[in-house]
Structure 1
Amino acid sequence: MQVFRGVGEVPPGFGPSAVTVGKFDGLHTGHRAIVADLLAAADAAGDLTPTVVTFDRNPLAVLAPERCPPALVGLDQQLELFAGAGVAATLVLHFDQALASIEPEDFVRDILAGPLGTRLLLVGDDFRYGRRGRGDVALLRAMSAECGFEVRTHERVVNGDRRISSTWIRELLDAGAIEEAAQLLGRAPSVRGLVVHGAHRGRELGYPTANLAQESDGLIPADGVYAGRLVDHTPTGRIPYPAAISVGSNPTFTGVPPRQVEAYVLDTTLDLYGHTIDIEFTHRIRGQVAYTGVDPLIAQMGLDVQRVRALAAQQEAPPAPRAR
C-alpha cells in the first residue's frame, strides 16, 4: 500500500481514484463494510485506485481535547489494517488548526479533486467536514459536477439495534468484554509497544513476563487476567505465541506502576527486551485480586495458565467433522 503523509507527497498524475474519508479508528466491521464497498466500486470501474484519506490524530484532539477519547489503535497499526483490508493508497493528513479551519470547498478542490484525482467519493450519510463542520453530503453533491466525481453514501452498519462504533468498542474494552469487542472489530483487540525491564517479580514467581513500556499504542482493556497471544516483530516476520496476559497494578505488591501490561508466553523462553510486540486479547479469565501473600498468588497464577493453555488448545484444534 502506498502511504502519503501529506498532500505534498501525492505524486503528480496519481489517480483516478475511488476515495473514502474518515478517522476509521480501529477499522471495525462497520468501517470494513465501507472499505469493502470502496474496493468493489473501484474494481467495477476498472481503473480507479481505492484510496483512504485519514488523519494522524483524532480531530477532537485539536477541536475539543477534553472530549477526545483514547485511540483504539496507533497510526502504524491503522495503516497496517488498511493495507490488510486491500486499500491501495492512504493519504494521512496532519490535523491541526489550519486543517480544522479549511473551508469545505477548498478541502474538496485542494485535497480530493486535485491531488487524488477523485472520480468516486464514498462517505457515510452523516459525513461532515471543513471549517465548523459546514461541509456535508449535499455540498459534495453540489460540487461533484464541477470537480468531476460521483458521490455515493453508505448507510450506518448496525449490530442488533445499535450502530457499530469505536465508542461502543471502547465501552466493551473498558468493561473487559473482550469477545464482544472482538466481534465488532472483526479481530482480536491488541496493544503494541516495546518490551522493557520490569521488577522481575514474574520470574521470581516462576512466570517470567514480557512487560510493555508505558508508552504503547492501542486501548488497554480493563484490569484483569486474559488469554491471548504475544506477537513478536522480527526481521523475518511476526511470530505469535500463546500467552497469559495481566493488566493492572499488581495489587498484591506495593510500589508497582499503574496499568502495567505484561504477558507470560506459554512453555517458551524468549529474550524480548527491546523488541516491538503486539499483545492480542482473546478471552478474559478473571479480574485483578489482591492476595494475602505470595503463595496464594502463585497458586492462582498456575490455575490461570492452565485455563489459558486450554483456550489456546481449543483455538489450535481443527474443527470437528460434521455429522452426515
Structure 2
Amino acid sequence: MHVHLSALRYFRETVRCGSMRQAAESLRVAPSAINRQILKLEDQLQCRLFERMADGVRLTGAGEVLYRHAREIDQLLDRALSELDDLRGLRRGRVGLASEDGIIRDVLPPLLAAFHQEFPRVSFGIDVMTGPAVVQAVAEGQCDLGLAMHPQRHPDVTVLGEAAVPIGAVMRPEHPLATRAALRLSDLATEPVVMLKHGIGAQPDAHGLVRRWAQRTEVAETNSPGAVAALVRAGLALAMRSPIGIRAELATGELVFVPLVDPQVKAGRLALLARRERALPVAAAVLAERVKALLAETDRETRAAMDARMRP
C-alpha cells in the first residue's frame, strides 16, 4: 500500500480547517481534489476517516489514529529537511517551542534574538500555554522543546536542563514589607493575597502552604499570571510567585519582589523539556544547548543569592 504525501497533506489540512472547502481554500486547490484524495485514502485503508456533516467534517476513530501518525510523519520530514539543510551549510530549519507565558516574555527573547543573528534562516514556532499543557505538547510531539515551571513527571518526557527560581512575595513599592531583604511565611499571615490556580505557574509545595494561609485572606484567584501582576500593581493585594514574567515591572519599580527564605518553601524549578528517546532536529538541538547553558548560569546565580540571604 502506497499512501502519497500529497494525500496526507490534504487530509491534515482538512482536519485543521474542519471542512474540505476551507482546506481547499487554504491549499489553493479545487475542493474536488481534496475530496478525491480523501476518498482514495479511505478506499486504500478500507475505513471511513471523516463523518461528513452539513457544516464540515469530523474525524472518526480511524481518522484520529491516522491523524496522530500523520503529524509524526510531518515531524520526521521536518527533521530530515533540517538535517539536510545543515549538511548543505544552509543552517535553515524551524524550531517548535511550547512555553509558559512568563518564560517567553522574560527568559527566551534575548536568547532567540542572539540565535537568529547567528542562524538567520532558522525560524521559530512558539505556542504559549500552561505548564501541564507544555508537558503534554512535548509528550505528543507537537513541539521540539518545552519550557515550564515545576513540570509534572511524564514517562514520555525528559528534562534536558533546569534552574532553581526564587519564590517570594510580589507587592507594590509602598507596601510595608517591600523594604525587607527576605520574608518568612509567618510575615504574611495577615496579608490579603491574590492566588494563582493550582498548576498555573506556582511551585506546588508553596501553593499548598499559601492556600492554607490564605483561606482567611484570599482576595482573588485567577489562572492568569499576567492578571496577578495587574491586580498587585493596582494595590488589591500581594501575591506569592517567582519573578519570571514580571521582570519589566520589577526593573521599573512598579512592583517589588521579596524572596521567601522560609524552610517550608522550596525554590521553584524552571525546566527545559524534550520528548524522550527522540532525536532533535539540528536547529532544535543547537538551540537546546544554548537554553541549557542559560539555565545552568541562572541556577548558579539563584543558588548563590539564596545562600547569601540564608546566612545570619
Q: TM-score range by the shorter chain?
A: under 0.3
Q: TM-score, normalised by structure 2?
A: 0.27
- Flag the structure with more relative contact order, 1 or 2, with Cα contacts below 8 A and sequence separation at least 6: 2
Quick check: which has more Rg, 1 or 2? 2
Q: TM-score, normalised by structure 1?
A: 0.26
> Which structure carries more helix by proportion?
2
> Which structure carries more strand by proportion?
1
